[in-house]
Structure formats: C-alpha cells, structure tokens
Amino acid sequence: MDSGLEIRRALERARAGTEALLEPVPDDELVAQISPLQSPLVWDFAHIAYFEELWLLRNLDGRPPVAEEHDEVYDAFRHARSERSTLPILRPEAARAYAADVRDQVLEVLDGVELDGGSSPLLRDGFVFALVVQHELQHQETLLQTLQLRTDREYSLPEAAARAPVSPGPDEVEVPGGVFLLGAVDEPWAYDNELQPHELELPPFVVDRSPVSNAAFTEFVAGGGYDDERLWSTEGWAWRNREDASAPLYWERADSGWERARFGRREPVPPGEPVQHVSFHEAEAFARWAEKRLPTEAEWERAAGWDPLAGKNRYPWGREYTGDEANLGHRRLRPVPVGSCPGGESPAGCLQMTGDVWEWTSSLFQPYPGFAAFPYAEYSEVFFGGEYRVLRGGSWATDPLVARVSFRNWDYPIRRQIFTGFRCARDAS
C-alpha cells in the first residue's frame, strides 16, 4: 500500500465491509451487551473510528481530538468488554456521523502526505494507513463473533456458495527437517510481533494435511474424551469442570445427533467441516486422545509457508490471493469441508492452512529475537508471557490482507467464541 489511490481504496473497502455487517442489525441491538465476552456492536464501530482518528489525525497530522471524552470511552485498555455498555457510548446515529467525519478528515490528510516516509517511520510504505485498515478488518471478525453469540435471533446469511472442490489425499504429511526463516519477509505492513525474521532449525515432523473435522471431534466426544482426566492438562481439566464443557461451544444434543447454533439458526453439525469454537484445552485433549500433539507455531509456519526453493511465501500457495485458494473474507460465514481448496496447498502438502479456522498451536505468545515495539507497545508487548497461546492461519472471517503466513494471533487458552479449530502434529518416527 504505497500509493494514495491504493490506500484510499483499502480504506473504502474496509469501511464498506464493516457497514455491510452491521446494516441488518436494528439500532437497539447495536447498543446491547450481547455477552460479557464482547463489546456492544456500536462500541466496536465507534472504536474503529477512534483508532483511525488517533493514528491518522492526531498522531500523524497533529490535529486536536474530535472529542476528548472519547479517550476514556474508546481506549480498549481502559475498560473491560463487559463494562462498555455502561459507558456513555455514542448511539448508532452519532457513531455513524463520527466515523464519517473522521474519514473525511483522513482523506484530506492522505491527499497531503508524502508516502515515501521521509523522516517518519509511520509513513514508510504507507504503514500507518495499513495499520488502520488492518485494525478495521480485524474488528470485522470481532463483530462476527458478537453476531454469532446472538443465538436467540437470526442474522442474515449470504446465499449458499457453490461447494468447494475437495482434494483427496493422505491424512498426514511429513515435513523434512532443516533450517527455515520464521517471521515476516518482504511484508511492509507486518506487525511488530512478526519481526524480526530469523533462521530456525527444526527436526522433521508429521502434521495433519487438513484441520480436524467435526466428524473426528464427534468421535472424541463419543469416546468419553471430555470425561477422561488423563487427556487434559491440570489447567485444562479445571477449565472443563468449571465450564461443565462436554462439546464445542454452540453444539447441542438432539434426537438425530449433534446440532449447532449458527447465527441464530439450529442446524445439524456438518461432519465434513473443520471443528470450530473449541478452546486450546479441548484441542490439546483431542490431540492427546489421538496420540498426537499440537504443532508449535514454528512447525505450523514451516508447514504453511516455507518453500525450500523459493523461500518464504506470503500465503501457503504464493504471493497473491485470487479468491479460490482459501475460504477467507466472510463470504460464506462458515468453514468449507476439510480437504477443500486444493489451489491453496502449501509447499509441504497441507491444505487450508489459511482460512476456515484459526488453528491453536502449543506455543506461548513470546517476542522473536530482536523484537522492537512499533508503533506502540500495547499492540503486542503487553501480551507477551505465559497467559496467551498463539493461533495461526486465519478463519473464514479473516480478511486476506491480514491472513499472511507470518501473522500471529493470540488469545487465552479458554477462549471459544472466536472461530478456532486446530490440526494435530507428531514427531517423525
């Protein structure tokens, strides 16, 4: 994103996507606290505009705040999500006006800046504009998580898309050992936690060709996986008992088998889709039940994007996304069956390593060697440590701009409202 026209188009595309997601929701529901896990939908929308104002008007152009009280209400670190409905948040009409005003001013700024960077690292390759665009695109996935939590009311779904082709193949692939480059390469809008790229040597390992399916996870449930303490870590077993978990989030037993709630509708659990809405603890227990383990994030990235001849790919299949290689961008509002999208196969032979579900890894969220916080410590640095597990790959709700192989997501191991699944790995024999 190094030209003003490209940046303008990216900003407009992101905003159009956000508005399209919220358009079917009545204003009284936009202000409601759907769940303590998520903010009111209108808070997220106004926060998107606040972040844009903060970085592109105030930090970049030195303009005064549009409204000083927004710092208290829309700074994501000042109040927990469960408290945000009690704040003096903007009503939907006012939030729309605020967002439109900020955007008009941002386009004025864009017309007057030099995008080659000069003395400003924020402007190098248009980074600060890419930061704002990616932030909005990531919040679109947050909005979808909230909309999915509204299990008592239907959300409009797109027309059923044509079934993606499924590619037959082995259940597992063996990935050779050796040195590869972990981290973002030639990615000017990569986040600080993806940098610095560095060489890492891995022994050979075996990884599932596709994510674990609903059918496979149903076998784990039927086999007593949730009742066998030996399969769970101490922390995981405590979580399982505390939550009384017996199946993935949104699954419900019915006379005909398992059903799930999806955007306010009940439907049979599709056996061929990747399982989603599982915590790290559930993924880890399944892997142990299957006599496997979860991959490390380094193993995941090696299997997803390293080409021994060409080096690091942006996506598993190469540098560009045409729309057929992966299920991204909330076009379907659901995963496609395991084994789909053969055009997205990675050099190692894995499928669906981008799109469909975020994949839990065994790794804690830690900085890479040489890490330097940029442009603010609160994006990554404050989350490093032992509390968060790394997720990789992106879900069906993730935008292609975000779903690069090097992108690192993270969350608490108990989280299930996010669109999470996993694939298993094991040591090579």
Tell me: cis bond preceding 148? Omega within 30 of 0 counts. no
Whether residue 166 is predicted with pLDDT greater than 90 in this model: the reply is: no
E strand or H helix at 73: helix 70-74
Closest CA relative to residue 258, chosen from 229, 288, 222, 289: 222
pLDDT of residue 161: 66
Decide: 38 and 149 in contact? Cβ < 8 Å.
Answer: yes
Report the pLDDT averaged over residues 196-223.
97
Report the pLDDT averaged over residues 328-356.
95
Closest CA relative to residue 107, chosen from 205, 10, 176, 175: 10
Backbone angles phi, psi at 122, to 5 degrees: -65, -30
pLDDT of residue 160: 65
pLDDT of residue 429: 81
> What is the percent of the chain with per-residue pLDDT over 90, rounded to a whole number?
89
Report the pLDDT averaged over residues 140-164.
88
In whole numbers, what is the pLDDT of the chain averaged over residues?
A: 95
Paired tokens of 76? 């994501």
Whether residue 118 is predicted with pLDDT greater than 90 in this model: the reply is: no
pLDDT of residue 162: 65
Nearest-angstrom CA–CA distance, 17 and 328: 13
pLDDT of residue 164: 67
Nearest-angstrom CA–CA distance, 256 and 213: 19
Paired tokens of 252? 């419900």
**Position 116 confidence tier, pLDDT thresholds 50, 70, 90:** confident
Domain annotation for the chain: domains and CATH numbers = 4-149 (1.20.120.450), 167-429 (3.90.1580.10)
Of 323 and 100, the one with more pLDDT: 100
Q: What is the pTM assigned to this prediction?
A: 0.95
Report the pLDDT averaged over residues 115-132.
84
pLDDT in tens, 27-78: 999 999 999 999 999 999 999 999 999 999 999 999 999 999 999 999 999 9
Report the pLDDT averaged over residues 288-312.
96
Whether residue 1 is predicted with pLDDT greater than 80 in this model: the reply is: no
Whether residue 197 is predicted with pLDDT greater than 80 in this model: the reply is: yes
Q: Which amino acid is at 359?
A: E
pLDDT of residue 165: 72
